[in-house]
A and B are shown apart, each in its own frame.
Chain A
Amino acid sequence: QKEVEQNSGPLSVPEGAIASLNCTYSDRVSQSFFWYRQYSGKSPELIMSIYSNGDKEDGRFTAQLNKASQYVSLLIRDSQPSDSATYLCAVNAAKGSARQLTFGSGTQLTVLP
């Protein structure tokens, strides 16, 4: 089982719609969860972090965390063509004595004008 799993997509939504991105993780003791956006040829850019169960909203973005189900999601409201990118879920998972940031394979999102 992969440590962090995402649907690779591609996911297409019309402009103005809600885009829903999902992620599951295998390490039950994970404490920190992040969503990154990566445009083609660029480095990942942090857009949301979430540490406790429930919802966290920041502008058009809402992150949702359910530790019992080992599930984290990202909702993008009023999607814009500029939101078209690959979205990476990252989990701070334990490896030996250190905690390390492990990434999913990413979901490619296309917002259609």
Chain B
Amino acid sequence: ETGVTQTPRHLVMGMTNKKSLKCEQHLGHNAMYWYKQSAKKPLELMFVYSLEERVENNSVPSRFSPECPNSSHLFLHLHTLQPEDSALYLCASSQSNTEAFFGQGTRLTVV
């Protein structure tokens, strides 16, 4: 069983759909992250949940909504997305300031 598990691995959705990405970590970490990676662009931090504090990148549109019900689970709720939101969405977890471990990612295509 991998340390950080993301589902689904691939998702195709229309612009009017609502979907959610799920992430679960089995490492006992206290911080979880959502990153977006578009083609030919660097990793972009979207949201961090750390010791029950949420920090967000102010440039992330409101059509992305995170939820962290506990330290092991993280969701990214998606609604009314745009084609430019198509990207690889990566979840990661870490213990405080130490190294982060990534899930395998969700390849999202918005049509």
A residues near B, CB below 8 A? 31-32, 34, 42-46, 49, 88, 90, 92, 95-106
> Interface residues of B: mostly helix, strand, loop or mixed?
strand
Task: Say yes or no: is B99 at the interface (Cβ < 8 Å to chain A).
Answer: yes
B residues near A, CB below 8 A? 33, 35, 41-43, 45, 48, 50, 53, 55, 88, 90, 92, 94, 96-105
- The residue of chain B having its C-beta at the shortest distance from the C-beta of A45 within the complex is B102
> Interface residues of A: mostly helix, strand, loop or mixed?
strand
Contact yes or no, B98 A49, CB < 8 A = yes
Contact yes or no, A98 B43, CB < 8 A = no
The 7 closest A-B pairs by CB, nearest first: A105-B42, A43-B102, A103-B43, A98-B55, A49-B99, A32-B97, A43-B105
Contact yes or no, B55 A95, CB < 8 A = yes
Q: How far is the CA of A49 from the CA of B99 in the complex (A)?
A: 7
